[in-house]
Structure 1
Amino acid sequence: MNILVIGCDQVGAALIRDLERIGHDISVVEKDPEQLKRLDAFDDYTFHGTALVGDPTDPDTLRRGGVENCDAVAAVTEEDSVNLMAAQLAKNIFRRDKVICRVSDPHLQILYHKAYELETICPTVLTEQAVFRALSK
């Protein structure tokens, strides 16, 4: 699968590595060139995809990043608003079917899912659930 990842913080870099390891072709768009250095931080991994520095909320940047030819988009920056904008562009302008949007605020997760019909992942909720399960044993 050809996947466009938006954001290369700790989550984005680890996601890119893991997706490449199982055979996916990855492109990444990141606005901060320093963040792309995370791709070189893994001892046993070399990034083979395409990296683009640019604003992920700009349709032209997404186009240069390969959004028109990708099978899926994962907007996983640390900024909810950037993820929402990029995910909406991918879904509504570029008509990508598989779009995942990282959302830190649980209240926004519900809004993004219901109002914008986006598939969302909320690390805050996932962490709370994991801690709850660990404490409930």
Structure 2
Amino acid sequence: MRAVVQKVSKASVSIAGVEKSSIQTGYMILLGVKDGDTKEDADYLVRKVSKLRVFEDDEGKMNLDLHQVGGQILSISQFTLLADTKKGNRPSFTKSAHPDEALELYQYFNDGLRAEELEVFEGEFGEHMEVSLVNDGPVTIVFDTENK
């Protein structure tokens, strides 16, 4: 699994011009599920994301986590994170999990974050989405379960 976590001051997702979800301070997460990924991979990402300390404390140091700032999460499934670009100019997406498996792990990941008492909003799996965000910092962290 690969997760791109962006610290945001606001983010939203729309489908066909209609806003589905929006957040203020928090994380906008793009999640790619690879063929062969497991619930253990999702659990690993839940632990990393829920404890990630990238919000500034009183001294301006990135020392606070999402719980401490009352932040929210906007979680977006994005199979293109697993694109293979080694050959030619057209990316291959054969490493991405089958949509049924990917949806199950995407939902499992989001439910895991909710179990950590985090407020999670979602895009719409498999839909063409328009994502808007203001990356605060900018801070962008990439997690890949192949590199635990």
Both proteins in one fold, TM over 0.5:
no
Give the structure with the higher percent strand.
2
TM-score (norm 2): 0.35
Higher relative CO (CA 8 A, sep ≥ 6), structure 1 or 2?
2
Give the structure with the higher percent helix.
1
